[in-house]
């Protein structure tokens, strides 16, 4: 194997093993920041030694053994005198003496360790931006540069968020554990929020030149699938996975070859990914079997299933979608959900029935700068042949969006209004 091939192999191994390493190390040292440093140290040793010695038969176990030795050296070097640190040092030294059982030890608690790491990275104590950055760094394995590129931020900003997040967790002495009871519900909601936020940013980029960023959708799906296996009895986890699988099934149909957006009703449904749809429906069935009281993600997955199950746009069960949005609104009141319900009502009962619902949202503070409000209103006005009013709304929506592809689409629709006059 050439040096270049070895380095590619190391990068592949690191992408697979990083979260496992950090999770297991964090359980031992009770410090996410230190765990990441130890894992990085092990990677540097691999980069130094593997080009000469070759990639080990079990690279994950090799990296873990190296990281544990580094942890032991760290505690010895710092001469930690506190009882807890002494116990950790003895535990690490004891495990170091049992090298033949290392692979088994690596696998024993990995599920629990990854779950703890997810709950820690998505701790409500952190800002949403910090939770996203830390999750993508520790669990998805993205570099600061990759995260910055995905969210159109500077690498320095992302690095600062990650450093501050780790410092905040350390200063607050956040326990590296899976919470129970009411706290578990709250923390799980935070984890799901972060995963779905990452997915949505990939599905409809808020800014930049690209309509979508599929890499973020893929990472969110990967995180959701991992979480579903780690928390198999949580219906909302399976609901979120179902929702993402079915939405991701449309990614290949959402743009033209030149990158221009294709709206849902105009998409070629034959190009929707049927494997992802089947996976999504299976996850939805799994979620529904676990509860008789659907939560927000499960309800949204049921809405996605209505779209996925319709062979043509005309066959879509819009009355059912409108009813599901009504249930969702009662569960988590939100102007955005009300706007989505208005769209479903327009498809089920016509634009005249939906326009008053949209107009009622005009004064909602959270929608003042939300470009989809004037976009939806413009669409309804266009269908009612109120073309001049529709043009104004589309132009207003174009001024509000920060995504270049979306802006071009909205201005195109504004032009169509002028031509229809």
Q: What string of H, E and C letters represents the secondary structure of the chain?
A: CCHHHHHHHHHHHHHHHHHHHHHHHHHHHCCHHHHHHHHHHHHHHHHHHHHHHCCCCCHHHHHHHHHHHHHHHHHHHHCCCCHHHHHHHHHHHHHHCCHHHHHHHHHHCHHHHHHHHHHHHCCCCCCHHHHHHHHHHHCCCCCHHHHHHHCCCCHHHHHHHHHHHHHHHHHCCCCCCCCCHHHHHHHHHHHHHHHHHHHHHHHCCCEECCCCCHHHHHHHHHHHHHHHHHCCCCHHHHHHHHHHHHHHCCHHHCECCCCCECCHHHCCHHHCCHHHHHHHHHHHHHHHCCCCCCCHHHHHHHHHHHHHHCCCHHHCCHHHHHHHHHHHHHHCCCHHHHHHHHHHHHHHHCHHHHHHHHHCCCCCHHHCCCCHHHHHHHHHHHHCCCHHHHHHHHHHHHHHCEEHHHHHHHHHHHHHHHHHC
| Dihedral-angle region of residue 54 (phi above 0 means left; psi in -120 to 50 means alpha; beta otherwise) | left
> Range with the lowest mean pLDDT among 109-118, 149-158, 280-289, 300-309?
109-118
Q: Give the pLDDT score at 212.
A: 86
Judge contact between 116 and 26, C-beta under 8 A.
yes
Q: Give the pLDDT score at 104.
A: 42
Residue 84 has pLDDT above 90, yes or no: no
Taking residue 363's Cβ as centre, other Cβ atoms within 10 Å add up to: 9
Residue 126 has pLDDT above 90, yes or no: yes
Two tokens, residue 222: 């990967």
Residue 235 has pLDDT above 80, yes or no: yes
Residue 100 has pLDDT above 50, yes or no: no
Average pLDDT over residues 296-315: 96
For 164, residues 6+ apart whose C-beta sits below 8 A from its C-beta are: 130
Judge contact between 213 and 201, C-beta under 8 A.
yes
Q: Give the pLDDT score at 124.
A: 87
Q: How far apart are CA 229 and CA 240, in angstroms?
A: 13
Residue 175 has pLDDT above 70, yes or no: yes
Average pLDDT over residues 354-378: 95
Domain edges within the chain: 1-108, 109-201, 232-262+269-311
Compute the half-sphere exposure of residue 185: CA atoms within 13 Å on the CB side of its CA.
3
User: Of how many residues is the chain composed?
Assistant: 421
Judge contact between 394 and 414, C-beta under 8 A.
yes
- As beta bridge partners, residue 255 has 261
Residue of 25, 22, 39, 15 lying closest to 142 (CA atoms): 15
Judge contact between 76 and 142, C-beta under 8 A.
no
Q: How far apart are CA 69 and CA 46, in angstroms?
A: 14
Q: Which of 70-79, 148-157, 188-197 has the highest mean pLDDT?
A: 188-197
Two tokens, residue 232: 């198999």
Judge contact between 384 and 352, C-beta under 8 A.
yes
Q: How far apart are CA 187 and CA 400, in angstroms?
A: 33
Q: Give the pLDDT score at 108.
A: 41
Average pLDDT over residues 163-175: 91
Average pLDDT over residues 288-296: 96
Return the percentage of the chain with pLDDT > 90, whole number: 55
- C-alpha distance across the termini of the chain, in Å: 68
Higher pLDDT, 98 or 155: 155
Rg of the chain, C-alpha, whole Å: 25
204-234: pLDDT as tens digits:
888 778 888 888 899 899 999 999 998 899 9
Q: Give the pLDDT score at 185.
A: 82
Q: Give the pLDDT score at 149.
A: 77
Fold of the domain spanning 109-201: Arc Repressor Mutant, subunit A (1.10.10)
Q: How far apart are CA 100 and CA 102, in angstroms?
A: 6
* pTM of the complete model: 0.80
Residue of 100, 111, 94 lying closest to 24 (CA atoms): 111
């Amino acid at each position: 194997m050439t040096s270049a091939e070895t380095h590619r192999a190391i990068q592949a191994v690191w992408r697979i093993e990083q979260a496992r390493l950090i999770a297991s190390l964090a359980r031992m040292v009770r410090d996410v920041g230190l765990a990441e440093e130890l894992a990085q140290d092990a990677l540097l040793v691999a980069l130094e030694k593997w080009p000469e010695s070759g990639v080990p038969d079990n690279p994950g176990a090799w990296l873990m053994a190296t990281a544990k030795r580094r942890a032991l050296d760290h505690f010895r070097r710092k001469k930690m005198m506190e009882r807890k640190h002494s116990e950790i040092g003895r535990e690490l030294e004891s495990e170091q003496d049992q090298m033949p059982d290392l692979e088994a030890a690596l696998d024993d608690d990995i599920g629990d360790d990854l779950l703890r790491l997810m709950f820690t990275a998505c701790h409500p104590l952190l800002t949403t931006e910090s939770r996203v950055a830390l999750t993508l760094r520790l669990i998805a394995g993205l570099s600061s540069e990759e995260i910055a590129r995905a969210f159109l931020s500077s690498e320095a900003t992302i690095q600062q968020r990650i450093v501050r997040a780790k410092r905040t967790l350390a200063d607050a002495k956040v326990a590296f554990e899976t919470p129970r009871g009411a706290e578990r519900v709250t923390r799980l909601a935070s984890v799901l929020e972060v995963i779905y936020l990452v997915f949505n940013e990939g599905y409809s980029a808020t800014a930049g030149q690209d309509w979508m960023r599929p890499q973020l959708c893929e990472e969110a799906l990967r995180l959701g699938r991992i979480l579903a296996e780690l928390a198999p009895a949580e219906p909302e986890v399976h609901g979120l996975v179902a929702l993402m699988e079915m939405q991701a099934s449309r990614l290949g149909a959402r743009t033209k070859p030149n990158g221009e957006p294709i709206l849902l009703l105009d998409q070629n449904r034959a190009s929707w990914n049927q494997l992802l749809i089947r996976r999504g429906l299976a996850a939805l069935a799994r979620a529904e079997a676990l509860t008789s009281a659907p939560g927000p993600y499960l309800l949204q997955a049921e809405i996605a299933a209505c779209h996925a199950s319709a062979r043509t746009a005309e066959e879509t069960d819009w009355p059912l979608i409108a009813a599901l949005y009504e249930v969702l609104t009662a569960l988590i009141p939100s102007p955005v959900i009300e706007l989505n319900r208005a769209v479903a009502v327009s498809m089920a009962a016509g634009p005249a029935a939906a326009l008053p619902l949209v107009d009622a949202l005009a004064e909602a503070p959270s929608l003042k700068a939300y470009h989809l409000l004037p976009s939806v209103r413009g669409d309804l006005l266009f269908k009612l042949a109120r073309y001049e009013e529709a043009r104004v709304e589309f132009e207003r929506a174009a001024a509000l969006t920060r995504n270049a592809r979306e802006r071009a689409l909205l201005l195109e629709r504004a032009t169509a209004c002028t031509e229809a006059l």
